[in-house]
Amino acid sequence: MVSNQSAADNDENGPARSSVVSVVNADQQAPETGQPMRTPGQKEAAGSGTSSRRAKGVAKQFLRGYLVVLLVPALFIAFTVGAPGHFLAAANLRSMLTTNSPLLILAVGMTVVLACGEFDLSFYGVIGMSAGIVAGVPQLSLWGALAVSLGAAVLAGLVNSFFVVVLNVSAFIATLGMGVLTLGIALGVTHSETLPNPFGGITSVFAGTFLGISYSFYIALAAVALLWGFLEHTVAGRNLYFTGANRKAAAYAGVNVNKVRVGALVVSAITGWIAGLFILAESGAVVAGYGSGYLLTDFAAVFLGYAAIRPGKYNALGTLVGVAVLAVGTTGLEVMAAPLWITDVFTGAILFVGVAAANILGRAGSFRELRSAVR
């Protein structure tokens, strides 16, 4: 009886209760969207969560783009503490900018090559060959020596292009062979000896100073600015990136990808020529193999730049940052009288650490994800 009475009461009151619930639910609906209205506390929590996610996203993007950049002031502080009164000396800073001018101009050319998806190992031989022709062929005048050496560098770039673009030979193999070939030419014209710079005009143009810094640095800095404008603000620069990202798609879109690749390899050869003249002017002599010392540092600078400013893209400002990291690091080690082999260890280590950390921190949205990535 009791259960039947309760069931009856429920049946009688059911419609009324449903009506009350419907009214309450209707009152809690947003007037236009039909979504449940949030209380002030819920709105505040939702807004706080959105702000937190936005802040994390901004921090993640900052770390991805500027972690490598932060290495520059960090190294400055470290070497200032480690070598007080020496590292920050004006003469040392001027020397650092001047001696790294060849690396900066080489990195400009390598950025162009890597951005279009190619590879160039021949620049180290082009450096010695260019300077060797200038100093090792006494029959030539200054302008004749510059013209012949530039022509030889451009020819090296075109031969690279023929093997890589036309014959479809691996760029690694083709340019490595060209590097050995041009090094052999350098040894031939210099007779495997150290030759003095015969032209004072080259010294005046490249080794003259402004504010105590050689003109070669300003020339290399201007090349970075030109590269930035080319890559970021021209159709040809976008085509270069497009070719590097997807050569087949770029060709279907109407980009002359072979022309882009040839141009990139020739630009790399020309920057090798300029670097050879920089070194000849600064050192006052030519040694056929002095371009070999830039093989690792050139790639290290550009790969560091790949993780800076615009991570995941070879870019001019990133390359400048990569050169700055290596310049500050190697100069600081020299000031602290570190053994020479430490410089190579530093160059390789900073490349691994900088790129890996930028990628890990860029992906990690929280400390838990960061710990998982490290493990």
Residue 256 within a domain: yes
Residue 234 within a domain: yes
Residue 39 is classified by DSSP as: P
Tell me how far apart the alpha carbons of residues 23 and 187 are, in angstroms, rounded to a whole number. 95
Cβ atoms within 10 A of the Cβ of 82, count?
Answer: 14
Give 113's contacts (C-beta < 8 A, 6+ positions apart): 119, 120, 264, 265, 267, 268
Residue 1 within a domain: no
Tell me how far apart the alpha carbons of residues 329 and 200 are, in angstroms, rounded to a whole number. 32
Q: What's the CATH number where 279 sits? A: 1.10.3470
Cβ atoms within 10 A of the Cβ of 255, count?
Answer: 19
Residue 250 within a domain: yes
The radius of gyration of the chain's CA atoms, rounded to the nearest angstrom, is 31
Q: Domain count of the chain?
A: 1
Instruction: Give the pLDDT means over successive 10-residue stretches in the chain (375 positions).
Output: 43 43 42 52 54 65 74 88 83 90 95 93 94 87 91 96 94 94 93 85 82 90 96 94 92 93 96 93 87 87 85 89 91 84 81 64 46 47
Residue 82 within a domain: no
Range of the structural domain that residue 110 is part of: 106-362+370-374
> Does the global pTM surpass 0.85?
no
Of the chain, the end-to-end C-alpha distance in Å amounts to 68
Residue 54 within a domain: no
Residue 258 within a domain: yes
Question: Closest Cα partner for 230 from 322, 312, 119, 108?
Answer: 108
Residue 23 within a domain: no
